[in-house]
Every structure is written in C-alpha cells, then in structure tokens.
Amino acid sequence: MRTNLKSSIILALWATFSLLLSFPTPSLQQPQVTPSTGVRLQNAYVALQAWKKAINSDPNGFTSNWNGYDVCSYKGVYCANAPDDSYVMTVAGIDLNHGNISGSLPEELDLLTDLALLHLNSNRFFGTIPSSFSHLKLLHEIDLSNNLFCGEFPKALLCLSSLKFLDIRYNHFEGSIPSAVFDLKLDALFLNNNNFTSTLPTNLANSPVSVFVVANNNLNGCFPAEITKMGATLQEIILMNAGLKGCLPSSIGELNKATVFDVSYNELTGTLPESMGKMESLEQLNVAHNKFYGKIPYSICSLPKLENFTYSYNYFCGEPLQCMRLQDRDDKYNCPPLRPYQRSPEECGAGLSAFFGGGRGGGEGWEEGGAISG
C-alpha cells in the first residue's frame, strides 16, 4: 500500500513537472524533457520496487542498491534509448543470473514495457509467471532456467511475438507443452528438466528454432516424425530421457544441418534409418540406452564431421568398419559377436524376440550382423 501511495504521489508530481516543462516549448525541440522521458523510468521504479518487496532472500546482495529513482544505476538493470524514441531512456534489460535470489515475480513487472532481455538463470524464484507478462511485447530473450517456477507452461509468453530465445529449463513446470509455442518465431527453445507430460504437438515443424531441447521430461509419446520437416533450421536436437517411444522416421536424414542429435535414454526401437547417412553436419550422435537393433548403416560412421557416436545399451548386431575408426565411440552392451563388454547371446535373443513379438526374426538379425572383431 505504502509503495503504491508513494508512487502515485511521485507520478502526479512527475506529470505536473513534465507538463510545466514541456508546455512552453514544443517537445520536438526539447526531446529530453518530453513527458515520456520520465514516465518510463518512473514506471520501472514502481515495477522494480514491487519486485524488491516480493524478494525474501538475496544472499549475494544483488538488489541491495535497488533504492531511489535512478533505476538505471540498480545492479543488474540495464537502460538504453527507447526503440521508439531515441531521446528517451528506458529499462531494456535485467540480468540477475546466478543471484540465488528467492522470491516471486510480481504482476507489476509488465510496467517494464521496453524490456528486451530478462535473465534470471540460477535463482530460487518460485510461483508462476504473471499473466501480465503478455504485455512485454519487446521481450526478445527470457531465461528463467534453474529456478523453482511451477504450474502449467507460462501462457503469457505465448503472446510475445518478439521472443527469440525462450529458456525455462530446470524448473517444475508440468502439464502439456502448448502447440502455440511452436508458432513463435524462436531461435532457441529449452524446455528440458521439467515435468511436461504431453506428446509433442503436430505443429512442431512450424517452429524455426535452431536449438530444441526437451530432455528430461515425461512426454510418453512417439518420436515426433514431424521433426524431419525442420531440416532448414534445426542444428541441435536434444530429446534425451524424454519418455519417447516408437521408431526414428525413415526421413530423419532431412535434418542435414543438425550438429547434435541426442535421443538417448528413451524407449526407441527399430533400426537406425539409412538416411541418417545424409545428416552431413552431424558431430555428436547419441542413441544410447534405447531398444534399437539391426546393423548400423556404414554411411552414418562415414559422416565427414562425426566426432562422437554413442550407441551403447541397445541391441545392435553389426558394426561396420567405418564405425571402428571413429575416435569417440561407445558400443558397449549391444549384440555384435566378438566385441568386448556386450550383452550375452541369451539376453540379445530375449530382447529381439520381445521386440518382434515372440521370436520371429530375432536370430535373423543376429546372423546378418556383419561381425567385425575389434
């Protein structure tokens, strides 16, 4: 209450002050004293004081100098000329990364209407993202990672058409991943280490992201085949431990800009599609801890930039010579004969007959597996 009262008084004073100053001279000639000069920083003052009140622990003293009206001198607060009026100073960015601050985000933060950058990584902020965040139309980057936020996916962020970088990893968000997130024109999307439970929406491929990380969630759906339509932009795809089932689509080779492809720790099965040999930008490939079987296509191991291929803990029966030449390679716990640290023939047979629903073809895969001793 007191802050509100104080701020209304200041607002009123400011309005009078700027009216007096700007009235006699046209504002075009005296741009530095247009009413908007002060109003934006004044609003920022209200927002930041409301935020300071919502903070209950700041062990590193990040907000200890958040006093007085000169918000541009506050630690972690960055001012710049307003994009729509270069004579006006406004708050353009807030960076409280690694603050270990505990608190919540107040509704008043929407008063920071010119905010382009909000970095709150590695704090102890909790609660939900205020719906008023939908007013932050210039927000370009939001990093809420490694906090204690909870609830559904923050819907307010779906209204932010300027957003390029959306990072909410390492929080306690749950429920479904809304399809609207894939209609945003994002460059990077980090949803990993939350508790999202839905399957990935079928409009996934609308997203122009180059980095897509959904690892460590509970999606419990099939591998999203639509992902292969994202080949023009996708460079890093990390779907590790996301609860994915099913097979990799035969068109997976369309992802020919991908440098990192990690689908480890899922329940994927089938063979690695031959088309993976067209993923010519690939440097890091991890398919470990799944139920893949069959022979690894030699074209994968011939990929020109491949540095690290991890395929341990599957049921592969054959490794082409090209794979043996890779520097960083992990083939443990598969089914090729005559390689060290592999599954026993019994385990391989049992696994394969389980995948094929009662024995058909298991032995066949084993026989075909061009055995190469290490």
Residues that bind ligand NAG (CB under 6 A): 57, 59, 100, 172, 174, 195, 286, 308, 310, 328
Give the integer Cα–Cα distance in Å for 106 and 67: 18
Residue 177 DSSP one-character state: -
Amino acid identity at 267:
E
Q: How far is the CB of 6 from ligand NAG (least distance, A)?
A: 30
Cβ-based nearer residue to ligand NAG, 45 or 311: 311
Cβ-based nearer residue to ligand NAG, 100 or 161: 100
Q: How far is the CB of 259 from ligand NAG (least distance, A)?
A: 13
Q: How far is the CB of 190 from ligand NAG (least distance, A)?
A: 16
Q: Are strands 117-119 and 85-95 parallel, antiparallel or unpaired?
A: parallel
Cβ-based nearer residue to ligand NAG, 133 or 261: 261
Element (H, E) at 368: helix 362-368
**C-alpha distances in Å from residue 49, one per residue of 31, 41, 64, 91, 129:** 27, 12, 12, 14, 18
Give the integer Cα–Cα distance in Å for 214 and 160: 21
Cβ-based nearer residue to ligand NAG, 151 or 277: 151
Q: Helix, strand, or coil here: 134?
A: helix
Q: Are strands 77-82 and 85-95 parallel, antiparallel or unpaired?
A: antiparallel
DSSP string, 3-51: HHHHHHHHHHHHHHHHHHHHTTS-TTTSGGGSHHHHHHHHHHHHHHHHH
Cβ-based nearer residue to ligand NAG, 57 or 202: 57
Q: How far is the CB of 322 from ligand NAG (least distance, A)?
A: 17
Q: How far is the CB of 328 from ligand NAG (least distance, A)?
A: 4
Cβ-based nearer residue to ligand NAG, 161 or 195: 195
Q: How far is the CB of 70 from ligand NAG (least distance, A)?
A: 28
Give the integer Cα–Cα distance in Å for 188 and 303: 25
C-beta neighbour count of 212 within 10 angstroms: 25
For the record, the structure tokens of 148 come out as: 């204690």
Cβ-based nearer residue to ligand NAG, 56 or 161: 56
Q: How far is the CB of 348 from ligand NAG (least distance, A)?
A: 23
